A and B are shown apart, each in its own frame.
Chain A
């Protein structure tokens, strides 16, 4: 299995809702990432998990809460989002090391209404 699987593919939520994005990989990668991407812009790093521990939080608002239940799973819990949080949310994994690239999922297209 050489894929990163993200669910759901599309999500519409109200500003008072609570929802979660899920990400799964079975490549044995030791690092997992959440990125946010606006249209025609590069991905912006949100969180990095190394060896299942949160190692980077890029000053993300607390309405986004990451969770890494095990080495294969990564969740992003959403609560009280704003319309400007609407974006493509990408999960990626890698083994780190200079020669290893990221494997990205297809993303969750989030719309906050």
Chain B
């Protein structure tokens, strides 16, 4: 069972275009995290959002956490070839003695062409 549905799975756009990636779930999470991964490397944390309705901006990237803490979106403005990579959303759930369990979405492979 996939707890987090991420869409689209693939995205191929031209430099300068805007895009949005969505991450949806029927479950409530204590946090929603976004990672970016390049081939052969580990994922790198971009942002963590913890409060329903929270919006965070990181230069051209805008992250939003849904009011009910079940969904999130990543919006990139004026995409650049350097934005190319696998974008992963992950829901955080701390239960009992298990710290920081993450549930990953399937990922969005973004390619930005010059």
Assembly CA distance A43 to B103 (angstroms): 9
B50 and A102 contacting across the interface, CB-CB below 8 Å: no
Q: Which A residues touch B30, using CB under 8 A?
A: 98
Binds A, one of B14-22, B76-84, B92-100: B92-100
Q: How large is the interface on B (under 10, 10 to 19, 20 to 34, 35 or more residues)?
A: 20 to 34
Assembly CA distance A88 to B105 (angstroms): 18
Q: Which A residues touch B86, using CB under 8 A?
A: 40
A105 and B100 contacting across the interface, CB-CB below 8 Å: no
Assembly CA distance A109 to B42 (angstroms): 11
Q: Which B residues touch A69, using CB under 8 A?
A: none
A56 interfacial contact with B, CB 8 Å: yes
B42 and A96 contacting across the interface, CB-CB below 8 Å: no
B31 and A30 contacting across the interface, CB-CB below 8 Å: no
User: Known contacts A40-B86, A42-B105, A99-B48; is A90 also within 8 Å of B42 by CB?
Assistant: yes
Assembly CA distance A55 to B93 (angstroms): 14
Q: Which A residues touch B31, using CB under 8 A?
A: 98-99
Q: A102 is contacted by which of B41, B45, B98, B106 (Cβ under 8 Å)? A: B45
Q: B residues engaging A (CB < 8 A)?
A: 30-31, 33, 35, 40-45, 48, 50, 86, 88, 90, 92, 94, 97-102, 104-107, 109
